[in-house]
Structure 1
Amino acid sequence: MKFLIAFLALIAPASAVLGNQVALDSQVFVERSAEQADGSVTVTLEEPTRVVPGDNLLFVLTYQNTGAEAAENFVVTNPMPEAVVFGEAIDSGAVYSVDGGTVFGPLAELRIAEESGVERPAHAADVTHIRWTLTEPIPAGESGQLKFRGIVR
């Protein structure tokens, strides 16, 4: 039970206003798959009232320009909760960090230094942060979403 409470505290929806112009809200859902009588599979999104290792999560970051002018060069950096292994970014343009948010780049280009000093390619389990940079201005009043998946450790 402690794990569930600590996990939910990490992923509880949070709101922030960036630069007093772009509001950011985050939500997380558990993706549940169910096989139907005809053999097809239906995926539903549920509130994370109970999560267990192996559960698939969908993180949804919604941004809205609350200012009177277009917001330019908007950057969202999202830390990965420690209880979650990164799965995939649904939106293109994401870059990743495997060092606590210091260096970002495509996952295929990042490396991890082992305790022995030998470097290896970074894996999804190494991701500590995800970053998106929106190159197109966000018009006043407009909103959008960024999404990524993870798996409960």
Structure 2
Amino acid sequence: MVKAVFPAMVIAGATSAALLPASAHAAGGVHFASDVFVERFQPAPGGRTARILERADQLRPGDRVIFVVNWSGRKDGGFTVTNPLPRTIAFAGGADGEQEVSVDGGRTWGSLEELSVRDAYGHMRQAHAEDVTHLRWRIPTPQALAGTGQMTWRGVVR
């Protein structure tokens, strides 16, 4: 099984370009491309609210962002994608719930409900979304042989 790891991503100068890996990364014939979108809501006709997705050019604290990682290529045996979260982004959930999370730098993995962390007083508590440090997706052989796929997750700029 091939493991793809995206480099640590940080926000520099409040632009989204620093949130993306410097270039597409290959993992044994699998190629990755990332995008970041800001999710905004605005009034729409009939008292509705319209959801607008814009490519992230400038980011401000509180912005809701959607990360999209597209992959292409075929890999027999499947592969794993690990994505460290930028410290300036708080995890706000995955679009499909297929990801595992880590709250300790990638040492242990599970669903958020299964993990715990020590609070400032040394007591254990259930982990919260803002404790997430890494995301991981396991792409099984049938999907890996399909040739393309997408992983998405949400965050909030701290």
TM-score band w.r.t. shorter chain: 0.7 to 0.9
Relative distance call for 1:6 and 1:42 in structure 2 (3 A) is closer
Moved segments of 4+, more than 2 Å: 6-10, 70-73, 114-117
TM-score by length of 1: 0.86
TM-score by length of 2: 0.84
- 1:65-76 aligned at under 5 Å gives the runs 65=73, 67=74, 70-76=75-81
Quote the offset at 1:9 in angstroms: 4.8
- 1:1-153 aligned at under 5 Å gives the runs 5=13, 8-13=16-21, 14-19=23-28, 21-65=29-73, 67=74, 70-137=75-142, 138-139=144-145, 142-153=147-158
Unpaired stretches in structure 2, ≥5 consecutive residues: 1-10
State percent identity of aligned pairs: 38
Report if aligned partners of 2:24, 2:31 keep a CA contact under 8 Å in 1: yes
Q: How far apart in 1 are the matches of 2:63 and 2:52? A: 13
Quote the offset at 1:94 in angstroms: 1.0
Q: How far apart in 2 are the matches of 1:7 and 1:104? A: 30
Aligned residues: 146
Q: How far apart in 2 are the matches of 1:10 and 1:103? A: 27
